[in-house]
Structures are given as structure tokens and as C-alpha cells.
Chains A and B, each alone.
Chain A
């Protein structure tokens, strides 16, 4: 009885008792969720355009952030370092296309998935050999102050992160829907043989997609990196982005965003109000269980399309 009370009544009483704290929890959830969305976005982009579920997205984030920090430590100007890092990500896209995607064209998606797991390891190793594996501070000059609106504590850094995420989404949406390259990307995603037969250069498209994913990774890397330092654990946020993808559907940009917010908020609320009941640290798996429960009712995700199977 007492347990039931603790599970079903007490958390809600606490929420109502402390509305400001509750609002803060929600907002911090939204902001964290925005960051998840950003990583998830990288997944969605690559999946949409090449049908590859890129497990290495987290490693891309780490790799981008490490490269940026490394260049800054070498004394480069911030903008030069940014351009350089972007160049490295494009180069990486070339290498991935040449040595992984091209030889594996027409393979089962699951084979490509496992290849990206390999890529994940290679990138983690390479990034840390090149730039070292200790925690590094990244400061790109985003203001980090706490202020108060209506009694709710807010952090300007988090707002910056959320805003840049939003801008990124708008830009990508325009890129995907309004430009020629965007149309070509969607054509390739649909059927790459057909796309090739009407003259869309497959290789170029793949390089572009992976470069864009690299760019998204860089932005995510800057945000996460300035918040909590650049270190190996950055690549683990990819694991947080996976349930977001399940929730939102693998092919939906809005899905990645809404999914990220749901997971971010759900995770924070659960950790703070229910976490203590079971000894805490439920953030690690809560998102997965949430996504899994959700899947049982809607296997194609929040915004995914219903699949009609044909034989």
C-alpha cells in the first residue's frame, strides 16, 4: 500500500507542491532533449539518404569535437579551426564512401549497420590516438550564465544550444525540400539504382550526406563538449539518441525532434520523481523502456509511415 502510494500518488503530489521546481525539471528535460534531437538528426539524415543506420554517429560527434579542441589547443583561431574541422569531416565522408559504402552497395541493411559499428570503433580509436584521451575543456564563447524568469532558473547556455538546434533543423529542412541536392538525396534514399539511372551521381550524394551528418555531429559535439568537456563519453550520447529514433521513426526529421523532447523530459521527470524509489541512475535505461513500450503500440514510430508488406 505504502509502495503503491509512493509510485502512483506521491510523485504527483510533489509535482503540484513545487510547481517552480517541476517547471525547472521540465525545462531542463526539454533542453537536454534538444541535444538528443541533434544527435538523432544525424542518424535520420544518413538513414534517409542512404538507408544506412549509422551506429557511428556518436563516434562522429566525438571525433568532430576532439578535432576541434585539438586544433584550438594548437593555437588556431576559432573560425579557422571550425573550417578545418569541417574539412576533416568532409574528408572522412570521402573515406567512408570510398572504403565502406561503395564496396558494400546492395548489401543487406543489417550488414551495413554492423559495418558502421566497426567504423564507430575505428573512429573512437583514431580520434583518441590523434588528440589524446583525457577530458578537455571546449570554450567557443557561448555565454554561460544563470538567470531567472518568473522564478524559474534558466541557463543561457542551454538556451543557446536549443536555439542552434532549432536553426539547424530549419536549415536542414529547407536543404532537403527546396534544393536540387535535397531532391536527389530523397531519390537516392528511395531507390539508389533508379536514382542512378536518371543520372544522379550516387557517390557524390553519399559524400554530401555523410558530410552533412559530420556537420550535424560537429554542432552536437560543440554543444555537448562545451557543456561537459570533450571526452570519450561523448560518443555514448549516441546511445541516448537511439531510443529517440525508435520513438520518432528512423526517417522522420520532426520525429527526431519530438522524440528527443519526449525522451529528454520523460527521463528527467522519471529520474527525479520516481528514481529515488529504485535507487536512482535509471536514466540509462528509462529511455529504452519508454521507447520499447511505445513500439509495441506503434511499431513504425511516431511519424514513421505504416508499412504495407507485399509479396
Chain B
């Protein structure tokens, strides 16, 4: 039973039994089955090469960190994975299916969720509604029934509300349930964004600088949430982060990008000792 299922919301209901609708996946802690395989990805905008011949794997159940100096192509990589950018060369195999062009909403339907470097919440909506939006893909009732708000529509709405309340408890944001997210401070917005991604019960969670601009305390909270998500649901996580302390602490493997190329890959300890990586960060001339 996940820990966030036990927390009782502010709105206790007598028959409150929380079950994640997707059911718990078998945990494959740090397993070796590739969930996603990127092969020879190249992406360019006009004359600018954002990614050059990148290949890597994301294993089921791991936390993979993608690091690199600014402009190395990290965010572009995430954008390629969830179909927002279409690479000119290369293939991506996800859950055993190789795809060529995929629209972002298809990626979402297949269980890829993400957060954004510059927060991309729906500013006019409340925290609750933002996270509920993450459940949209799981809702099936047609719009006529919804218009009448009757029977199945109402039942569905309540079911998903319960699930979302579970996430709200997990992230400890009960108090801001009804606040329009535009009014929240930065750290909380990041947390709501994580909640929205979690609400879709992703298999692969992409986090783009989840800790940027946070103080230490907020970072610790965020690390705890990330580890908990990975631990308890076996959700595979790929994250971009600049804080090396965080990266070394929480990730199982690290990929290093520089100028659109992959320059290193391995466990945090291996990467830390890698001379190429040190050069890239310290700025040895490229000759």
C-alpha cells in the first residue's frame, strides 16, 4: 500500500478506500529491461545541431539523470522523447515499439509524463483542477453525460477526485487545493507540476530541472518525493538537473551531454571520475 494512500484528505469519506486505478506495477528495482531505447538521434533547427547521434537506454525502474552544461541539448532530448520535437535521424523504441513520428498527446497516452523547466502549469486553474487535468486521459464518459452531470459522469468525477486527493496528500499540498496556481510561490508550483504529472500514473516520468531555483529545504522535499515515487510505484524517472549533489545522491545512472553529443554514461561514481566530463564542465578548449 503506497504511503500516500494512507493519508486522509481534508474531506474524509466514510468508505474512503484509495486504490490507484492502474494498479501497482511489479517493482523491478534498477532492472535491466530497457523501457526506452534511443538510437542515433540527431536533431537540428535550421543550421543549428541540437543533438548529434545520441544513443542511450532508459531501464525500467531506474532514476536516470541527464546532465551537461547549458545548451548541451538536455531539454531537446526530453522533447524528443515525448514527441514534441521530431528528430531528423534516429529511432526511439518505447516499450518494445519503434516509432518514427509521434504526437505529444500520443506519448502521454502511452504513459510518458513530464514537468517543465519553466513551469508550465495552467495558471488560471486551481491546484486541484491542475492535478485533475492529469487524470483526463483516464476519463471515458462522453460529453453528453458530462453535460448532464449524471450517473456515470458523476461517479467518474468522484473516483478521480479521490485519486487526486491521494496525490495531494502525498505531496503535502492540502492547504493550497483551491488556490489558483498563478498565485503560488515558485517551489509550490513545481510541486503542483509534479503532482499533475503523477496524476496520469506514468510509466516514464521526465523531470526537467525539478529543483531549479529552490532552496535547500525545498530541494530535500523534492528529492524525497522523487525517491518515493520511484520506490513505491517503480516509476521510471529521467531527470535533468544542475545540482550535482542531488544528481549524485538520487540517480542510479547518469548520462552526460555536451554540445549535442553524449560524452559519458555510467553510475554517478564513474561519471564523477571521468576526465572528459570534468573537462566539459571546467571548459577545456575543444581542439
Contact = CB atoms under 8 A, between A and B. Distances in A.
In the complex, A touching B (Cβ < 8 A): yes
Interface of A: 308-311
B79 A311 contact: yes
A300 to B, nearest CB: 14
Nearest to B116: A311
Contacts of B117: 311
A308 B45 CA distance: 8
Interface string B77-114: 00100001000000000000000000000000000000
A162 B156 CA distance: 64
11 contacts: A308-B45, A309-B84, A310-B75, A311-B75, A311-B79, A311-B84, A311-B116, A311-B117, A311-B118, A311-B120, A311-B208
A310 B76 CA distance: 9
B111 to A, nearest CB: 19
Interface of B: 45, 75, 79, 84, 116-118, 120, 208
Nearest to B78: A311
Contacts of B116: 311
Closest 9 CB pairs of A and B: A311-B116, A308-B45, A311-B120, A311-B84, A311-B79, A311-B117, A311-B75, A311-B118, A310-B75
Among A308, A309, A310, A311, the most chain B Cβ lie within 10 Å of the Cβ of: A311
A193 to B, nearest CB: 15
A309 B85 CA distance: 9
B197 to A, nearest CB: 13
A311 B118 CA distance: 7
B225 to A, nearest CB: 21
A304 to B, nearest CB: 16
Nearest to B84: A311
Contacts of B120: 311
Given A310-B75, A311-B116, A311-B118, 7 more contacts: A308-B45, A309-B84, A311-B75, A311-B79, A311-B84, A311-B117, A311-B208
A311 B117 CA distance: 7
A235 B273 CA distance: 71
Contacts of B75: 310-311
B205 to A, nearest CB: 16
B188 to A, nearest CB: 20
A309 B75 CA distance: 12
A308 B43 CA distance: 13
A308 to B, nearest CB: 6
A311 B115 CA distance: 10
Contacts of B118: 311
Contacts of B79: 311
Nearest to B208: A311
A51 B79 CA distance: 28
A311 B120 CA distance: 8
Contacts of A310: 75
Nearest to B82: A311
